[in-house]
């Protein structure tokens, strides 16, 4: 099978997977009632998604600048922000491709190594996983009642959540300070990798090591730690503030802890290879709101649709603006990014 045929097959399968999840999300939903929920929204709260979303993406670009500080001094946060938004825009159509587009655009605009920039994106994903684990553990420690639906006495779990938050923070720091040792240890497993796959795995290790070279700039470590928590705190706020747009959800009061739980689930939804988490996000949030917090299924799905689609529009419009402003073409950007991989 040719690379082009494989790409087409992956795209078709991802679209079919999205359709399957959308079918699950809309199963048993009265569309008239769903449309009716939109007329009762407090749109002032919904509008807050836009500035909070833009601020979170800007914080991601700022963190990226510090992660690439060893590559080039004085990187433009504006250009990195453009790369972030264009990458997210592409992900709404082609899952995973946006992660390749982002370093390519940054390389074009800033004249830095695209391979190194890609390595930093790999590292970002690891950092984000640890940051979510830390934030979730911390919130569960502060408010264990969030999981009361699963446990009769959730308070007894507080020491475990405190331990989880401490371990996550220590892991975060260890990844930077001991990254070279981790890569050397991981290379041991190359002996078990099939010969034809070994170059790709070695390339991943090289990108990982390159991305964590920030360890040579220890003054940036705590900035990156802080910005990581700010980014995910803003993501959680983007789910928490819209609670108040829905009277039923506001009265149920899932709290900020509930928003963090939804954030963790939505993060899993975005890992599944479907365009822009269409379907996965909707089904995960609908069932989480309904089963964990007793929200009506129609209202829960409405919340998922509004928060997801507004963010899709936000990144698409912003990404398209930077494409035009920086004289880039989406076809060239996507094709070149795929070649870099």
Q: Distance between terminal CA atoms of the chain? A: 18
Task: State how far the Cα of 210 lies from the Cα of 207, in Å rounded to an integer.
Answer: 5
Task: State how far the Cα of 196 lies from the Cα of 263, in Å rounded to an integer.
Answer: 38
Residue 119: CB partners within 8 Å, gap ≥ 6?
A: 206, 207, 208, 209, 210, 211
The DSSP symbol for 281 reads H
CA 189 to chain CA centroid, Å, is 28
Q: Check residue 20 and give its pLDDT.
A: 95
The DSSP symbol for 41 reads -
Helix axes 221-240, 158-177, angle to 10 degrees: 140
Residue 212: CB partners within 8 Å, gap ≥ 6?
A: 123, 175, 176, 179, 180, 183
Q: Check residue 265 and give its pLDDT.
A: 86
Q: Check residue 187 and give its pLDDT.
A: 65
Q: Check residue 147 and give its pLDDT.
A: 59
If one counts the domains in the chain, the total is 1
Give the SS3 label for residue 176: helix
Q: Which two tokens stand for residue 257?
A: 């802890």
Task: State how far the Cα of 50 lies from the Cα of 314, in Å rounded to an integer.
Answer: 7
Q: Which two tokens stand for residue 19?
A: 């359709």
Q: Which residue has the tokens 């990195």?
A: 80
List, in sequence order, every beta strand (DSSP E) within the chain.
Answer: none
Q: Check residue 280 and give its pLDDT.
A: 95
**Which runs of consecutive H residues, i.e. helices, occur in 113-193?**
114-142, 158-177, 179-186
Task: State how far the Cα of 140 lies from the Cα of 158, in Å rounded to an integer.
Answer: 7
CA atoms within 13 A on the CB side of 223: 17
Q: Check residue 93 and give its pLDDT.
A: 86
Provide the whole-model pTM.
0.83
Examine residue 5 and state whether it is found in any structural domain, yes or no. no
Other C-beta atoms within 10 Å of 19: how many? 13
Residues of the chain with pLDDT under 70: 1-4, 7, 142-158, 161, 172-192, 197-198, 200-201, 203-219, 332-341
Q: Check residue 77 and give its pLDDT.
A: 95
Residues in the chain: 341
Sign of the Cα pseudo-torsion (265, 207, 182, 222, in order): negative
Examine residue 4 and state whether it is found in any structural domain, yes or no. no
Host domain of residue 118: 22-340
Q: Check residue 165 and give its pLDDT.
A: 72
Examine residue 1 and state whether it is found in any structural domain, yes or no. no
């Amino acid at each position: 099978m040719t690379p082009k045929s494989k790409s087409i097959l992956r795209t078709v399968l991802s679209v079919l997977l999205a359709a399957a999840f959308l079918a699950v999300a809309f199963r048993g939903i009265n569309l008239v009632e769903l449309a009716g929920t939109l007329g009762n929204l407090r749109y002032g709260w919904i509008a807050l998604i836009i500035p909070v979303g833009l601020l979170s993406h800007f914080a991601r670009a700022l963190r990226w600048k510090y992660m690439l500080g060893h590559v080039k001094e004085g990187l433009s946060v504006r250009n990195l922000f453009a790369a972030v938004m264009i990458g997210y825009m592409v992900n709404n159509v082609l899952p995973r491709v946006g992660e390749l587009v982002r370093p390519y655009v940054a390389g074009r605009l800033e004249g830095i190594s695209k391979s190194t920039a890609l390595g930093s994106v790999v590292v970002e994903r690891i950092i984000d996983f640890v940051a979510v684990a830390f934030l979730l553990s911390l919130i569960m420690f502060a408010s264990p009642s969030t999981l009361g639906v699963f446990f009769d006495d959730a308070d007894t779990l507080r020491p475990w959540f405190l331990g989880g938050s401490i371990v996550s923070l220590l892991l975060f720091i260890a990844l930077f300070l001991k990254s070279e040792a981790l890569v050397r240890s991981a290379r041991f497993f190359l002996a078990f990798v099939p010969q034809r796959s070994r170059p790709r795995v070695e390339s991943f290790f090289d990108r990982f090591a390159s991305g964590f070279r920030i360890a040579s700039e220890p003054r940036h470590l705590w900035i990156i730690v802080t910005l990581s928590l700010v980014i995910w705190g803003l993501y959680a706020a983007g789910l928490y503030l819209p609670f108040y747009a829905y009277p039923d959800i506001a009265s149920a009061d899932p709290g900020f802890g509930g928003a963090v739980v939804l954030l963790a689930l939505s993060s899993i939804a975005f890992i599944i290879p479907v365009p822009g988490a269409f379907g996965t996000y909707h089904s995960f949030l609908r069932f989480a709101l309904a089963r964990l917090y007793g929200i009506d299924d129609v209202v829960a799905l409405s919340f998922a649709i509004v928060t997801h689609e507004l963010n899709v529009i936000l990144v698409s419009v912003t990404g398209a603006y930077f494409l035009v402003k920086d004289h880039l073409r989406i076809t060239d950007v996507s094709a070149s990014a795929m070649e870099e991989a």
